[in-house]
Every structure is written in C-alpha cells, then in structure tokens.
C-alpha cells in the first residue's frame, strides 16, 4: 500500500473513533456530572437505593459505607460489575467513613431492623443512638451535603439528625411519604384503569400509622376523585377511599411479614428524591422536613408537598386542607413530637 493509502486508512480510523465517542455521549449526558451520592448502610435498603441510583443514572459517583467490611466491599463490587450497562459511574464501598467524603447527598439507611408487628416509632431509641455516633463524622466528611433519612422512624430521626448536625432544616430531610404516595397512586390507577401519571394524590403527615391521604385535593386528571365516574358509576365512594387509605398504611407491614423488609420500592423512591435534588428540578414531592409554622406546627418533621431543588427543600407548599385533614396533621405532629421527646435529652 502506498503512502496515500495509509493516510486514507488512518483518516478512516479517526472518523470511526469520533463516531464511537459520539455514540456514548447521549448515555453520559443523562448523568449528573460531578455529583456524588453516599449511601450509609449496605443492607437490603441501602443496596436498593444504590442500585436504583445506578440504573437511573442519578450521579456519576456512588459510595457505600457500612461497618461490615466484607459485606460493603462485596456489594460495591457487585454494583460496579454492572456499571458498564448504566453509564459507567464510579462505585466504591468501604468500612472507612472517609469513602463518603465530598458527597452532595448522603442517604442514611443504617439502623435497627423493623420486625414484623413492630411500629416504626418503637425503633426510635436504637436508631437515635446510631445517628448520634455517626452524624458528626458524616457532616465532617461532607459539610455541604444534603442528608436524606430513610431509616425508620424517618420523621423523628430527621429531627434527631438535624439537632445533632446543626445543619439548616432544608438540608436534613427524609423520604417521608414519597413511597406511601406512590402506593396510593398505584391503587387508584389500578381501580380506575388509568395511568399513574394521571393520578394526583398524596399521603401526608407521619410516615407511619397516623399518615393519611389528602382526599380533599386528590384528582384524576382535573376531576376530583370523589366525582370520578365510569359509565355514570362513582368509582371512589367513601368506603372505597377508606379502604385504599388502610391498604397504604398497612402495605409495608404485609411486605415485612412476607419477606422480612421493604427495599425495592423505597430504593426507587429515595433515588428519585436524589435525582430531583441533583438535577435542581424544583419538582413537588411529599418529603418530610421540619416545619416552621405551617398549619400551626413548628419544629416537627412531617411530610407535606414540598419543592425539591439543589438546596434541598426549597419550599413547603401551602396546600389547602379540610378541617378534618388539619386535625389529622396535628395528630401526626403530636405522635412524632412525643416520640422525639423520648430521646431528646440524650442528644
């Protein structure tokens, strides 16, 4: 082959390389650049959060921290082995808390396990002690991070973590009723035989036994849920609404009784919260944060529709509630505050 032939081959190879690089750009562009999520706890929930964040391409770095060295290293390796298929984020795992350094978001899933029949509030003492030992180190490693509590009881522990850390309340939040609201929308969509995207309904209050749906503002499309009809028949009469609320409230207990833990759905919901923050979406989700006078409630973490952006909870929406719903919200606040008082002196 003469010199011009060699040049043509080389030029062809350069074009091929540029084409190959162009092919990977769309996949990479979906990922939040320069963003790191650390997940504390490599159990069923923590690994589900990390896996969901991986496949949703939420961040370009995911770190797992757990005191069980073989476990956390194995889980991180297992996740990393599949990262070729998900946009190539860096995945690491360690029992050294330094692995979390420089995080934009720290998701805390570590804590005592909820046993069948045990309420979330009964877990508060054990998990508050764990946070007391861990939070100062995590804040030192990532002073600018937003902290998301997934460990139950997440509302009380949000108050505990904020008190220990001293961080702004907008940056210490919990997954709250984001998953509960997803459960509700799924049930409504199934009964109405429509897409969940057309269901606008949320669970608010405590992520626990005193949570409740905001039926007064629930909609299917633009239609109030109580007015939704098919062939003239009311699809959601009061007894059906009561049953749906009960199903949502007890759904976690059923899953725990059957498999020992809830993990896949909470992993997806926590990942979705991280996504909204890292992408500065200003999307509305019912996360739990410490309220400042909304509905006459101050200093208690509750779930209400909130605007999520780069700084965490940027606004808690002033959602119209019926008098009955306001009373239920105050009852939720009382339950959470009473539980917080059990550990407040120990902080």
- pLDDT-derived band at 4 (thresholds 50, 70, 90) equals very low
* Segment 7-21 mean pLDDT: 42
Mean of pLDDT over the chain: 90
What residues are designated binding site for substrate? 114, 120, 152-155, 180-183, 262
96-102's contacts with Cβ under 8 Å and 24+ in sequence apart are: 96/65, 97/65, 97/134, 97/137, 97/138, 97/141, 98/141, 99/38, 99/63, 99/64, 99/65, 100/38, 100/40, 100/63, 100/65, 100/138, 100/141, 100/142, 101/141, 101/142, 102/36, 102/141, 102/142
Q: What is the pLDDT of residue 125?
A: 87
Q: What is the pLDDT of residue 8?
A: 40
Give yes or no for residue 116 having a pLDDT over 80.
Answer: no
Which residue is catalytic, options 207, 246, 282, 292? 207
Domains identified in the chain and CATH numbers:
36-174 (3.40.50.720), 177-346 (3.90.110.10)
Active site residue 233: no
Q: Is residue 166 within 8 Å of 56, Cβ to Cβ? A: no
* Segment 94-120 mean pLDDT: 88
Give yes or no for residue 120 having a pLDDT over 80.
Answer: no
Q: What is the pLDDT of residue 109?
A: 97
What residues are designated binding site for NAD(+)? 41-46, 66, 71, 111-112, 127, 150-152, 175
Per-residue pLDDT tens for 140-167? 999 999 999 999 999 999 999 999 999 9
Q: What is the pLDDT of residue 34?
A: 64
Residue 188, H or E segment: helix 178-192
State what percent of residues in the chain have pLDDT above 70. 89
Per-residue pLDDT tens for 301-340? 999 999 999 999 999 999 999 999 999 999 999 999 999 9
Give yes or no for residue 31 having a pLDDT over 70.
Answer: no
Q: What is the pLDDT of residue 14?
A: 45
Q: What is the pLDDT of residue 16?
A: 43
What residues are designated binding site for beta-D-fructose 1,6-bisphosphate? 185, 200
- Strand arrangement of the beta sheet that strand 219-220 belongs to: 199-200, 219-220, 223-224
């Amino acid at each position: 082959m003469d010199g011009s032939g060699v040049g043509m081959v080389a030029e062809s190879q350069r074009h091929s390389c540029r084409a190959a690089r162009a092919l990977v750009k769309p996949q990479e562009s979906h990922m939040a650049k320069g963003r790191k999520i650390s997940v504390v706890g490599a159990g069923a929930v923590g690994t589900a959060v990390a896996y969901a964040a991986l496949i949703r391409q939420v961040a370009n770095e995911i770190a797992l921290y757990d005191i069980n060295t073989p476990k956390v290293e194995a889980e991180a390796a297992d996740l990393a082995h599949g990262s070729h298929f998900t946009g190539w984020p860096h995945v690491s795992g360690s029992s050294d808390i330094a692995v979390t350094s420089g995080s934009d978001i720290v998701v805390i899933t570590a804590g005592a396990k909820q046993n069948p029949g045990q309420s979330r509030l009964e877990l508060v003492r054990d998990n508050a002690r764990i946070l007391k030992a861990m939070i100062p180190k995590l804040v030192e490693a990532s002073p600018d991070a937003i902290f998301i509590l997934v460990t139950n009881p997440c509302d009380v522990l949000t108050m505990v973590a904020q008190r220990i850390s001293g961080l702004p309340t907008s940056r210490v939040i919990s997954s709250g009723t984001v998953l509960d609201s997803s459960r509700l929308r799924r049930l409504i969509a199934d009964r109405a035989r429509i897409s969940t995207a057309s269901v606008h309904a949320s669970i608010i209050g405590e992520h626990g036994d005193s949570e409740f749906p905001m039926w007064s503002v629930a909609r299917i499309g633009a239609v109030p849920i109580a007015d939704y009809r098919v062939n003239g028949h009311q699809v959601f009469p009061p007894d059906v609404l009561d049953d749906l609320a009960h199903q949502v409230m007890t759904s976690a207990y059923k899953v725990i009784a059957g498999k020992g833990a809830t993990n896949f759905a909470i992993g997806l919901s926590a990942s979705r919260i991280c996504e909204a923050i890292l992408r500065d979406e200003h999307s509305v989700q019912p996360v739990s944060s410490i309220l400042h006078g909304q509905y006459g409630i101050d200093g208690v973490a509750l779930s209400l529709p909130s605007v999520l952006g780069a700084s965490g909870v940027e606004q808690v929406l002033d959602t119209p509630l019926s008098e009955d719903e306001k009373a239920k919200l105050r009852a939720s606040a009382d339950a959470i505050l009473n539980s917080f008082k059990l550990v407040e002196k120990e902080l």
